[in-house]
A and B are shown apart, each in its own frame.
Chain A
Amino acid sequence: MKRALTIAMLVLLAMPLLYAMSQLPPHGSATSPAYTHISPRYLERGPEEAGAENVVTDVILNYRGFDTNGEVTVIFTSLAAVLAVLLAGRKGDERPVREPAAEPSPPSVVVRFVVRLLGPFVTMFAVYVIINGHVSPGGGFQGGTVFGALVILITVVLGRSVAEKLQPLGVRRILQAAAPLTFVAVGVLGLALFGDYLAFPRDEALAWVRTSWLMVIEIGIGVGGAAIISAIFWQMGGDR
């Protein structure tokens, strides 16, 4: 009964959606309003004006940098919220003791060896994706996530103590806040030098400054993203 009602409701919902879809410009048309207003300018002047050959990077970090500034704050806030939810009413890092059904057998030698072998290559790929984000697909989020995935892999296979060596305790808090901090630093630098928050130098001769600022933000987002992802994973208890 409930299922039939739901399906009827969904059909009723799908009909206006499909009707609205039929009123849209046809898929792939180059004359649709979404494509004829701002995009041509971004596509034409983006590389000179904003400093990166990858126009998507231009849009997220330069033209709409304020939006991305808010977004990295959202990720940081989500880490804070996860910590608050999982640690509420508990002291420190302790979790309710639950008897494991059976002692998990440690991964075999082959798995451990392959993870040790892969580690440097995955790290190199992550760094490449971050550093090269302005000329090829990729950037801070993608590279940071790849490195975070490596930390998760090491935690699962080699244990949390090995993974934590990648992020020393003293600087871990700063690493987790790296993305918003870098963004605010670059924004305030723009405010001090050019009079607007997140303003980039406009001068033709300063193209290398624009590109290097983009790179600094990418590295900040990458480091912060990796630290936040591994911290969320550890806190949700994936290390057991």
Chain B
Amino acid sequence: MIAMLWQNIDYVGSVVLFCIGLYCVITKNNLIKKFIGLNIMETSVFAFIIALGVVDGGEAPIMGAGASAPFTNPIPQALILTGIVVAVSTTALALSLIIRIYEHCGTIEADELREME
């Protein structure tokens, strides 16, 4: 059991980070704090998918002179590259929505906003 956890430390780390991010999203009241939690959840999923593509002793998949097999799996890396850029787009959109909410309501605490309706 311990040996299995030790070998799969990347996966365990992703699960723990995912739970920490979800905890932040659920319990925190401040919208910006909630969004940082959401970002932690996102990056934990990225770390998990990168960990799926790792090969023991693998080098970066760049075929220059002097490169030797085994190489790490390029497909998860390409997917995550796309994912990171999409994540920053959603961050920009969400933060501008938060700025507008603050200008309109004067607060970014979720419970105060709920009472305001």
B116 within 8 A of A: no
Residue contact A81 to B93, C-beta cutoff 8 Å: yes
Count residues of chain B with CB under 8 A from any CB of chain A: 50
Q: How far is the CA of A34 from the CA of B23 in the complex (A)?
A: 31
Per-position 1/0 for A21-43, Cβ under 8 A of B? 11010111110101100110011
Known contacts being A7-B23, A34-B52, is A27 close to B8, with CB within 8 Å?
Answer: yes
Residue contact B51 to A27, C-beta cutoff 8 Å: yes
Residue contact B26 to A6, C-beta cutoff 8 Å: yes
- Distance in angstroms from B65 CB to nearest chain A CB is 9
A30's partner among B7, B61, B70 (CB-CB below 8 A) is: B70
Residue contact B89 to A6, C-beta cutoff 8 Å: no
Give the nearest-CB partner of B83 in chain A: A71
Residue contact A34 to B76, C-beta cutoff 8 Å: yes
Give the nearest-CB partner of B20 in chain A: A10
- Distance in angstroms from B77 CB to nearest chain A CB is 5
Give the nearest-CB partner of A72 in chain B: B85
Interface, chain A (partner B; CB < 8 A): 2-3, 6-7, 10, 13-14, 17-18, 21-22, 24, 26-30, 32, 34-35, 38-39, 42-43, 46-47, 53-56, 58-60, 64, 67-68, 71, 74-75, 77-79, 81-82, 85-86, 88, 96, 135-137, 141, 232, 235-237
Interface, chain B (partner A; CB < 8 A): 4, 7-12, 15-16, 18-19, 22-23, 26-27, 51-56, 58, 60-64, 69-71, 73-78, 81-82, 85-86, 89-90, 92-93, 95-97, 99-100, 103
- 3 A-B pairs closest in CB distance: A78-B89, A59-B78, A28-B56
